[in-house]
């Protein structure tokens, strides 16, 4: 069973970049991305990469980010 951990702070996002765990992104209570990994982030934007040519930019204020780990 998977364990979900919400990403709030910059150290949370730094760990997600370092460990490359899959991330789920929610916007308006809907999943808008699942399985990609955080490539980079700043105070406003989080960049998720799902495949070699698939980069998606999400705003930190409008979305919720969850790291998915296997137990």
CATH of the domain at 16: 2.30.30
Helices (H) and strands (E) in the chain, counts: 1, 6
pLDDT at 70 over 90: no
pLDDT of res. 69: 83
* Residue 2 confidence (pLDDT): 77
Question: 16: which 2 tokens?
Answer: 């997600």
Rounded to two decimals, the pTM is 0.88
Q: How many domains does the chain have?
A: 1
The separation between the first and the last C-alpha atoms of the chain, rounded to the nearest angstrom, is 6
Instruction: Report how far residue 50's alpha carbon sits from residue 37's, in angstroms, rounded to the nearest whole number.
Output: 6
pLDDT tens sequence across 15-67: 999 999 899 999 999 999 999 999 999 999 999 999 888 999 999 999 999 99
DSSP code, position 44: S
Residue 35: which domain range?
Answer: 2-70
Cα separation, 33 vs 64, whole angstroms: 11
């Amino acid at each position: 069973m998977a364990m979900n951990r919400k990403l709030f702070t910059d150290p949370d996002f730094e760990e997600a970049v370092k460990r490359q765990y899959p991330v789920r992104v929610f916007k308006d209570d809907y999943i808008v991305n699942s399985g990609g990994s955080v490539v980079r982030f700043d105070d406003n934007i989080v960049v998720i990469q799902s495949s070699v040519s698939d980069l998606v930019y999400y705003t930190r204020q409008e979305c919720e980010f969850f790291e998915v780990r296997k137990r």
